Amino acid sequence: MLGFILGCKSEPEPAKPSALERPYLRKLTVAGAKEVTLDHTARTIQIVFPATYKSDEMELVMELIDGVSVSHTDPVKNFGFRGFRPIPLLILNNYSQQYDTYTIYVDAEGEMDAYLREDLFLTENGTVVAPIVFTSGIGTVPERPSEVEEMIAWLGDTKNAKPAIRNTGSGLFEFDNAYNLVPSESIDLSFKYKEQNFQFKEKQKLTQWIVRVAIDSASTWWNSLSKNVAMNVGGGCFLPQNKYEIKLQNLTNVTTIQTEYKGTQQLGFKIPDNVKDGNYYVGIYEGSTLISKSIFNVANDPKIRGFQQVWTETTNDITPIALDAGRFEPIVSSAGKEINVNPYPMFTANVSGGSITADKLPKLRLSANGSAYELEPKMKEDRRFGDGAVVLYYAAYTLPGNIAPGNYAMRLNFRDGGVTEPFCKFLEIK
């Protein structure tokens, strides 16, 4: 960690000179340091700590000439130096607003020791960043301006005959293509700097991070999914050894689509032409595990109408944009209760002007075993939608008090657009 104390005396502000005499930094001391060397020509600061110095904090006490100040992202608080790149120290000429930049190198003597702050995990692009914390034996990397040695690190799994991977990423302990080691509970992590080698005694686990998945350029709010059109699933980290499928489900159809592996962050797919137009629960699976769920309308006609969401919660805390697709199972309610529907396309208006009237919202048609009901909408609004500049309007429907128990198909009846295909899930009346 690094903190700064400025040793300037409090004196009247001098007249603004045309130029300031260099060097701006006259003197520097560091508590606990064995050696502090200033090179004003190369603008480097070399600090050496003895093996007995165990802290990862250091405090620089500087004497600066009048008219300059230290500029840094955090000039008075602490930050780490062990195992990091050399630290830039910016000294600002307050009159010309130009900087002199010094680079701080720290050499920490003694044997290297370290621990992992948390378990190893894959990021979305298939890399691993090892959260190594050094406790002794190393300062910045490199520790001196003249040194060209690199920090060399390896991840491997000799127990399962998986080849070691070197740190080739942009960070000191970043390992590209580490997904080739997943899954493993016997990871060896070691590194070398100059003449010192270090290996963690404990075997490490390497697990896949939460897989984040979304169909590229397709929002359930704004888009339907077209058939026989190449589309991509983005996110990651997708593993080449795993199988990824997309399953489209509604009341009458189930279609499973195999994806094309395009890398750790992309899968490709097409919806076949023979898939019937309609509203679908879209599940993306890694093996047998559901990793993404959404509700889409599938059709090549961009003017298709249908459903986006159906839900039963009525508290003020519920905002439609915060709801997910849930499980592929009926929505449960009972006679006299209220259910909410967000139609597709959605109804919105600017906060500053315009509004949607209730007559624009569709009726809700329920059908089961020869029984049919058509319910009038009651308009609701969500003023928390998006960035607050747009109001989302949706419909609430009160179920009849005499509706019989059973599973009902739900359709929307638009006054200017006819009756839609059913919502992908049943409405179960208890």
27: pLDDT strictly greater than 60? yes
Mean pLDDT, residues 346-373 taken together:
84
Reported as a pLDDT band with limits 50, 70 and 90, residue 316 is low
CA separation for the pair 61, 4 (Å, rounded): 6
HEC profile of 200-253: CCCCEEEECCCCEEEECCCCCCCCCECCCCCEEEEEECCCCCCCEEEEEECCCC
pLDDT of residue 210: 76
Percent of the chain with pLDDT over 90: 48
Give pLDDT tens digits for 146-163.
998 888 999 998 888 887
pTM for this predicted structure = 0.72
| Top-confidence range, 37-51, 114-128, 215-229, 354-368 | 37-51
CB 310 within 8 A of CB 331: yes
Cα–Cα distances (Å) from 420 to 106, 302, 375, 423, in that order, read 69, 14, 15, 9
Choose the most confident range, by mean pLDDT, from 27-41, 88-102, 200-214, 300-314.
27-41
Kindly report the average pLDDT of the chain as a whole number: 86
pLDDT tens digits, 261-293 = 999 899 999 999 999 999 999 999 999 999 999
Residue 322 has pLDDT above 90, yes or no: no
pLDDT the model gives residue 106: 95
Q: What pLDDT is recorded for position 76? A: 42
Pairwise pLDDT comparison (334 vs 164), residue with the higher score: 334
- Per-residue tokens: 162: 């998986």
Above 70 in pLDDT, residue 334?
Answer: yes
pLDDT value at 357 more than 90: no
**Does residue 290 sit in helix, strand or coil?**
strand
| 57 contacts 3 by C-beta, under 8 angstroms | yes
